[in-house]
């Protein structure tokens, strides 16, 4: 006699589902802003802005932070809690370094006489400030999520680690990494 085995569809965790909805919304927001950038650029009176050199370094920093986030997630899955805590801390620190470097890039533009906002600004510099600034806010949100996840790892009982929060934070972190790479390439090719 044969037994009928019913394959239940695997359900996505509700928090993961919400994360993907949020990522989709963020993608649409940045797609809209970069589209508006292109439209405005083609209307004339556009200032060609050379990106600050520190943006290149910040790109390397966020790429390294994505690697440390991947390794943190892998360490947690392997049960290496102390290594996980070290790596997630490094990832958060690299996120703060990224934001600081971006801010230094804005200061460099101001030093070169490129006003980012206000009556002296050009649409090009204002777009750069708004788009990059919004990305910095999303990275800051990721840093806060990393810190919360880090502290939760201390409060959990040994051997009862919930991987879902770290996996969700890792997904978001990799997303803001890819988003910056997109923006950086966009600035290089379109600006």
Q: Is 136 exposed, middle or buried (0-12, 13-18, 19+ CB in 10 A)?
A: buried
Average pLDDT estimate for 84-94: 93
Q: What is the mean pLDDT of the chain?
A: 89
Model confidence at 37: pLDDT above 70: yes
Task: Give the per-residue pLDDT at 99.
Answer: 96
Average pLDDT estimate for 159-170: 78
Average pLDDT estimate for 114-129: 90
Task: Give the per-residue pLDDT at 161.
Answer: 61
pTM, 2 dp: 0.87
Choose the most confident range, by mean pLDDT, from 2-6, 77-81, 121-125, 140-144.
140-144
Whole-angstrom distance, CA of residue 84 vs CA of residue 78: 9
Count of beta carbons in the 10 Å neighbourhood of residue 18: 12
pLDDT tens by residue, 59-77: 999 999 999 999 999 998 8
Q: Any idea which of 60-64, 90-94, 156-160, 186-190 has the lowest mean pLDDT?
A: 156-160
Higher pLDDT, 14 or 140: 140
Which long-range contacts does 15-24 make (Cβ < 8 Å, 24+ apart)? Answer: 15/164, 15/165, 15/168, 16/164, 16/167, 16/168, 16/171, 19/168, 19/171, 19/172, 22/172, 23/171, 23/172, 23/175
Per-residue burial over 35-45, b = 16 or more CB atoms within 10 Å of its CB, e = otherwise: eebeeebeeee
Of the pLDDT bands very low, low, confident and very high (cuts 50, 70, 90), residue 164 is confident
Whole-angstrom distance, CA of residue 93 vs CA of residue 86: 11
Structure tokens that stand for 134 in this block: 């919004």
Task: Give the per-residue pLDDT at 68.
Answer: 97
Count of beta carbons in the 10 Å neighbourhood of residue 170: 24
Whole-angstrom distance, CA of residue 113 vs CA of residue 92: 32
Choose the most confident range, by mean pLDDT, from 30-34, 48-52, 112-116, 124-128.
30-34
Give alpha helix (H) positions in 112-162: 123-155
CATH for 50-190, options being 1.20.120.80, 1.10.1060.10, 3.40.47.10, 3.40.630.10: 1.20.120.80
Closest listed residue to residue 84, CA positions, set 180, 177, 156: 156
């Amino acid at each position: 006699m044969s037994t009928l085995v019913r394959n239940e569809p695997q359900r996505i965790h509700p928090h993961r589902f919400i994360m993907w909805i949020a990522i989709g919304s963020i993608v649409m927001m940045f797609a809209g802003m970069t589209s508006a950038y292109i439209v405005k650029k083609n209307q004339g009176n556009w200032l060609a802005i050379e990106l600050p050199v520190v943006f290149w370094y910040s790109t390397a920093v966020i790429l390294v932070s994505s690697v440390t986030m991947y390794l943190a997630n892998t360490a947690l899955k392997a049960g290496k809690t102390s290594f996980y805590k070290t790596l997630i801390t490094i990832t958060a620190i690299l996120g703060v370094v990224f934001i600081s470097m971006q801010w230094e890039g804005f200061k460099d533009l101001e030093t070169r006489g490129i006003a980012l906002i206000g009556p002296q600004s050009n649409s090009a510099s204002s777009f750069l400030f708004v788009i990059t600034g919004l990305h910095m806010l999303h990275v800051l949100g990721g840093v806060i999520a990393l810190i919360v996840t880090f502290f939760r790892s201390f409060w959990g009982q040994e051997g009862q680690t919930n991987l879902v929060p770290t996996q969700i934070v890792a997904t978001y972190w990799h997303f803001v990494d890819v988003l910056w790479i997109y923006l950086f390439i966009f600035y290089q090719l379109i600006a």
